[in-house]
Amino acid sequence: MEDYKALIVKPEDNVATALEAIPANKDAVVSCQGRVSTITVLDSIEFGHKFATSFIAKGSDIRKYGEVIGRASQDIDIGAHLHTHNIEGTRGRGDQVGKE
């Protein structure tokens, strides 16, 4: 059986990066600083794209490189594709000026 490889950069991250294209419903072998785990991806993940390594509630921080890269714009299940449809940036948001 082929291993689909993915990488978590820092232990505190809640996303993994696909190091090759991973078809939906396949197991990804995810490594993080030498520790390896398995996560079943829910969607097909293109090379370089991300999936959630834990459930992420709407409004929560998304972490990669051990740092905040944005926040969840909806609830995100473990194994789901993470991209512009469910992550929003928090910087340079001129569209939000004067709102809230």
Q: Is 75 in the site for other proteins (CB under 8 A)?
A: no
Q: Is 60 in the site for other proteins (CB under 8 A)?
A: no
CB of 56 to other proteins, least distance (A): 13
Q: Cβ atoms within 10 A of the Cβ of 3, count?
A: 12
Q: Is 28 in the site for other proteins (CB under 8 A)?
A: no
Q: Is 65 in the site for other proteins (CB under 8 A)?
A: yes
The HSE-up count of residue 41 (CA atoms within 13 Å, CB side) is: 27
Query: CB–CB of 21/43 below 8 Å?
Result: no
Q: Is 89 in the site for other proteins (CB under 8 A)?
A: yes
Q: Is 17 in the site for other proteins (CB under 8 A)?
A: yes
**Can you tell me the distance from the alpha carbon of 73 to that of 13, in angstroms, rounded to the nearest whole number?**
17
**Residues whose CB is less than 8 angstroms from the CB of residue 66 and which lie 6 or more positions away in sequence, other chains included:** 9, 10, 11, 12, 13
Nearer to other proteins, 25 or 83 (CB): 83
Residues forming the site for other proteins (CB under 8 A): 7, 9, 17-19, 46-50, 62, 64-65, 67-70, 82-84, 87-97
